[in-house]
Amino acid sequence: LCDLISQNPDKVTSLKVGAIIRGGLTRFTDQLGKLWCSLADYYIRSGHFEKARDVYEEAILTVVTVRDFTQVFDSYAQFEESMIAAKMETTSELGQDEDDDIDLELRLARFELLITRRPLLLNSVLLRQNPHNVHEWHKRVKLYEGQPRQIINTYTEAVQTIDAIKATGKPHSLWVSFARFYEDNEQLDD
């Protein structure tokens, strides 16, 4: 049903497609990636590109399996690529002006940001699966290399989130690394 309505938005007028697919998200938790992609596809085919982008972002921030994340992320990246290709095609056919250049730059920047965010987004999925995974918290800190404020926020969140009884790995290693970070940056008083 979801495939049918998401691929034919112009023929479906009496149904609330968003509500139907979102209902499926709560009922069919083993198909979350596919359902999120169907919802975004519905909006894309309806010409509501910003709404599709919002759906992809919501999906990326809520899925809890790597499989679902991969499905959604790949679909999102493909969508952004197609938006860039479509803009380039229209620009080459109709000629180029300053607004087209700005729009194309914006689309390219969006795509680049999405690709750059991938490791961090994937790490977030793994931490949603198991917030007590010490190794994943250490990986998250490495992803923020060169961003001291984010590193401090990550260590703080990690030590507040991890329950020592449920932890996989050694929770004390986070405290040691956190202290070493302050020591390396000569901020022992903080």
What does the pLDDT look like over 37-67, one tens digit per residue? 999 998 998 899 999 999 999 999 999 999 9
Domain spans of the chain, in order of start: 1-128, 130-190
pTM: 0.85
CB count within 10 Å of CB 60 equals: 21
Give the C-alpha separation, 99 to 2, whole Å: 37
Q: What is the pLDDT of residue 94?
A: 72
Strand, coil or helix: 163: coil
Average pLDDT over residues 122-143: 97
Low-confidence winner among 19-28, 76-85, 130-139 (lowest mean pLDDT): 19-28
Is the per-residue pLDDT at 97 higher than 90?
Answer: no
Q: What is the number of other CB atoms lying within 10 angstroms of the CB of residue 85? A: 11
